[in-house]
Structure 1
Amino acid sequence: MRPRKAATLAVALLVFSVAGCKSSSGLIGPTDETADAAALIVEANKDLRVIKVVYEKNQGKRDQLIEAMRSDNAAEVKRLSGEVVDAINDGTVAGKNALDKIDQARDLNVNEDYAEYLRLKWEALNKQLEAFEEYRQAARKLRDNYDPKNAQAHAVVAADFESRSENFQKLMEKARDYSSQANELAKDVLRRPAE
């Protein structure tokens, strides 16, 4: 995460927390737990940083896979697709941990703005996990079934890879949309005058 984006997010979490504290009921009604939710999100963001490292380390693998398929290099396709499957499996563990923490935060009594922010953040991450599952399945099929000598099997695997790649792109676009909405909500809260 870029330093400016991280700072903006930290300030937004603080503003959400402060806004939540103003509406705390304490003795009479339910206590606002926005600050506790924000702490869970800080922990979830640590899991997301793990995913980012895995992603950045493996970012060029898709292009390498496509090139290996074009050159009918079965050994390279199997090696690269196996690495992709392993990387996505590692990232998925961290992603599910982050989703669990966001779920815990969503179960807390938080102010309306923060509840919506958490929903959008959850939706964004969930769509990313769905997208990477598409990519993992495509890579798994390549790893297990790619055979450039069998024209029919080659065509089926290539078509599946293309279809899942398109699904990956669509799901990632939805994830980016949810993430943008969450970021815009955070910015809107920051721009509001203090009450």
Structure 2
Amino acid sequence: IMWPVLSAFIFCGCVTTGRDGFEIFGPSDETSEAAKIVVEANRELTRIKVLYRDNEGKRLELKTALEANNAAEVKRISEDVVQIINEGMNLGTSAIDKVEQAREMRINDDYKEYLRLKSEALKKQLEAFENYRQAARSLRDNYDPKNSQLREKVKVEFDQRSENYRTIMEKARDLSSQANELYKDSLRRQREK
């Protein structure tokens, strides 16, 4: 399971009061309320990080079971992975909803764009994890070490979905990096005032 990437998207503490009573992203009516909602989203993302930490060995277990052609272990571990990803995706969806709620508030344009980019990054991550979840489901439902043709088909599908996961996750990292750069630029502009 690759949850540390998701936990890397925990949002910067992007709303603090500046010297002039302005928020880092500039003056806005509902910025502090939006920040509270973002804190709630961060709690969801922190729970995902804990899920990952508690289950980080599953990928190695699954790889070992596949190499040993141990169908019972592949199915058991795959089921665990599906359940863990389902729980993480529920938390991720909740975090996205909160970020979107904050984004719809009366906040300044920089903060709104920052939240848009973070939301898009989280959506990409969920898309990536959906690929990984489908790969685990396929292993759980179809892996049969006695049927070499089916076994190879499932392994190929697993490899393809894993590659899709990596590709989509890279796009998510790019979006998050853009958001972080926007945050840094906004800080610089605020300090220059």
TM bucket (normalised to shorter chain) is 0.7 to 0.9
Q: Which moved more, 1:93-102 or 1:185-194?
A: 185-194
Quote the residue 2:77 is aligned against: 80
**Equivalent residues of 2:25, 2:186 under 8 A apart:** no
Quote the residue 1:103 is aligned against: 100
Quote the residue 1:29 is aligned against: none
| Alignment of 1:114 onto 2:111 | yes
Percent pairwise identity: 55
What CA distance in whole angstroms lies between the structure 2 residues aligned with 1:20 and 1:148?
57
Q: Structure 1: which 5+ runs fail to align?
A: 25-31
For normalisation by structure 1, the TM-score amounts to: 0.85
The Cα RMSD (Å) is 2.2
Higher helix fraction (1 or 2): 1
Quote the residue 1:18 is aligned against: 23
Deviation (angstroms), 1:105? 0.9
Deviations 1:170-195 (A, max 9, x none): 11111111111212221222222253
Q: How does 1:115-130 map to 2 (within 5 A)?
A: 115-130=112-127
Deviation (angstroms), 1:110? 1.2
Q: How does 1:1-195 map to 2 (within 5 A)?
A: 9-10=12-13, 12-14=14-16, 18-19=23-24, 22=27, 24=28, 32-192=29-189, 193-195=191-193
Deviations 1:54-102 (A, max 9, x none): 1222222122212211111111111111110010011111111101101
- Count of residues in Structure 1 that have an aligned counterpart in Structure 2: 182
Q: Which moved more, 1:177-186 or 1:109-118?
A: 177-186
Deviation (angstroms), 1:152? 1.4
**Equivalent residues of 1:15, 1:189 under 8 A apart:** no
What CA distance in whole angstroms lies between the structure 2 residues aligned with 1:112 and 1:60?
42
Deviations 1:140-162 (A, max 9, x none): 11011100100111011111100
For normalisation by structure 2, the TM-score amounts to: 0.86
What CA distance in whole angstroms lies between the structure 1 residues aligned with 2:51 and 2:72?
23
For 1:177, give the aligned amino acid: D
What CA distance in whole angstroms lies between the structure 2 residues aligned with 1:101 and 1:184?
22
What CA distance in whole angstroms lies between the structure 2 residues aligned with 1:187 and 1:74?
50
For 1:68, give the aligned amino acid: A
What CA distance in whole angstroms lies between the structure 2 residues aligned with 1:163 and 1:95?
23
Deviation (angstroms), 1:9? 2.1
Q: Structure 2: which 5+ runs fail to align?
A: none
Deviation (angstroms), 1:13? 2.1
What CA distance in whole angstroms lies between the structure 2 residues aligned with 1:128 and 1:162?
18
Deviations 1:35-64 (A, max 9, x none): 221111011000000111112222221222
